[in-house]
């Protein structure tokens, strides 16, 4: 397995490549984008959810992934989530000047989701989301929580996500990923009144 992260010092972008025996992924992210997305993972429903993160987070996101989908979607979805988390971590750099925390409530018809993030440098995730069906398209519903956990761990952030209520699995998942995008947008936004790291201990390295 090999992972590679690019070196960016003057902007908030990152490119992550991940090559294993199971997947080959290239992911590019720009935190100061316009929400433009070019995403292909081979798992249509997952692509749809990632488009929501980009669009509502105003994050430009390009993902090209090829994985062992002849087995199942697990490795591809997991590794893309790992790459997305690592790209967020790299693009944030030393995290100086960011708002750091963000939250969003998003409705989708009968469903309501809440996501709260803290770009603290400490990985933690609490996910509360139940789904009725085992699959949404080619994506196992069991992987929704795993995706969010993988992003949080690799981005070194606290992530609390919950579906508060809803009936339709698609609506519940869509509300979650839209809320993730909006919470991230709030947290990564630069606060012009703050010149340093938004922490009383002076660092966000964990």
Q: How many domains does the chain have?
A: 1
Classify burial at 176, counting beta carbons within 10 Å of its beta carbon; exposed 0-12, middle 13-18, buried 19 or more: buried
Residues 97, 83, 49, 126, Cα dihedral to 10°: -70
Does some domain include residue 128?
yes
76 neighbors 65 (Cβ within 8 angstroms): yes
Maximum distance among all Cα pairs of the chain, rounded to whole angstroms: 51
Does some domain include residue 200?
no
Does some domain include residue 201?
no
Query: Is the pLDDT assigned to residue 176 strictly greater than 90?
Result: yes
Does some domain include residue 203?
no
Does some domain include residue 204?
no
Q: Is the Cα torsion angle 163, 59, 87, 17 positive or negative in sign?
A: positive
Q: Give residue 35's domain range.
A: 2-188
Q: 98 vs 196, which has greater pLDDT?
A: 98
Q: pLDDT tens digit string along 36-50?
A: 999 999 999 999 999
**pLDDT the model gives residue 191:** 83
Does some domain include residue 198?
no
**pLDDT the model gives residue 197:** 58
Does some domain include residue 38?
yes
CATH number of domain containing 145: 3.30.230.40
Does some domain include residue 202?
no
Number of Cβ within a 10 Å radius of residue 67: 23
**Distance of CA 32 to CAs 58, 65, 96, 148, Å?**
7, 23, 15, 22
Residues 6+ apart with CB under 8 A from 193: none
């Amino acid at each position: 397995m090999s992972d590679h992260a690019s070196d960016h010092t003057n902007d908030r972008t990152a490119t992550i490549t991940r090559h294993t025996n199971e997947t080959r992924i290239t992911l590019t992210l720009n935190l100061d984008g316009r929400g433009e997305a070019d995403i292909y993972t081979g798992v249509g429903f997952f692509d749809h959810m990632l488009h929501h993160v980009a669009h509502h987070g105003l994050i430009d996101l390009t993902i090209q992934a090829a994985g062992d989908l002849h087995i199942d979607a697990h490795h591809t979805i997991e590794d893309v989530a790992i790459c997305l988390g690592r790209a967020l971590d790299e693009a944030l750099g030393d995290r100086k000047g960011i708002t750091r925390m963000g939250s969003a409530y998003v409705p989708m018809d009968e469903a309501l989701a809440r996501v709260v993030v803290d770009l603290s440098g400490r990985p933690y995730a609490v996910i509360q989301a139940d789904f009725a069906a085992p699959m949404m398209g080619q994506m196992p519903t069991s992987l929704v929580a795993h995706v969010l956990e993988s992003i949080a761990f690799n981005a070194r952030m606290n992530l609390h996500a919950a579906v508060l209520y809803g009936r339709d699995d698609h609506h519940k998942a869509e509300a979650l990923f839209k809320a993730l995008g909006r919470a991230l947008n709030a947290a990564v936004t630069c606060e012009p009144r703050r010149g340093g790291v938004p922490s009383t201990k002076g660092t966000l390295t964990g």
